[in-house]
Amino acid sequence: MLDRGLRLPTVLGVLAVAGVLSWGFGRWWISGGHSPLRVGWFTGVLLLGMAAVVVVTGRRMWRMRHGRAHVGPIVAERILRLAQASAITGAVVAGLYLGQALALAPDIGYAGRGELALAWSVAGLGAIALLAAGMVVQWWCRVDDDDDDESESPTLS
């Protein structure tokens, strides 16, 4: 993905764009006389579980940074890519789900749409947890610059 890492403004921008597009589509869909789109309550729980898996996987990097374990370079790169993919996925999905919740907000008292908006919100919060887990694990994967590497430059003879 990115060698420099994902920045928080980038991830929040993705979340905002996805949220605005989802809200616009949701309002258009509902104003056209269609029933609102549905999401299950289990969706938020599933996303929380995915966030937990990312954190548990990334914990190996945290332990390595604190001198408690060794992680090979290939494994470290895979953990970093998992973290970055989780952050982007969490941002897109959170934007989609929270946008749908906002689209239902004006009609919250009509035909059970309040409960549906709550289900969309819970799913959106689960996606935000996935986003946060990805960003934290990416931070754990950060490699500090060693001063020793610069002083030991190789010489050709």
| Average pLDDT score over residue span 62-73 | 87
92-120 b/e with 16+ CB inside 10 Å = b?
bbbbbbbbbbbbbeebeeeeebeebbebb
Question: What is the C-alpha separation between 97 and 80, in angstroms, rounded?
Answer: 25
Amino acid making up residue 25: F
State the pLDDT at residue 143: 75
At 5-55, the pLDDT tens digits run 899 999 999 999 999 999 999 999 999 989 888 999 899 999 999 999 999
Angle at CA of residue 145, ends 142 and 147, nearest 5°: 160
Distance of alpha carbon 155 from alpha carbon 108, whole angstroms: 71
Indicate the average pLDDT of the chain. Answer: 88
The Cα–Cα gap between 141 and 4 comes to 11
What is the value of pTM for the model shown? 0.85
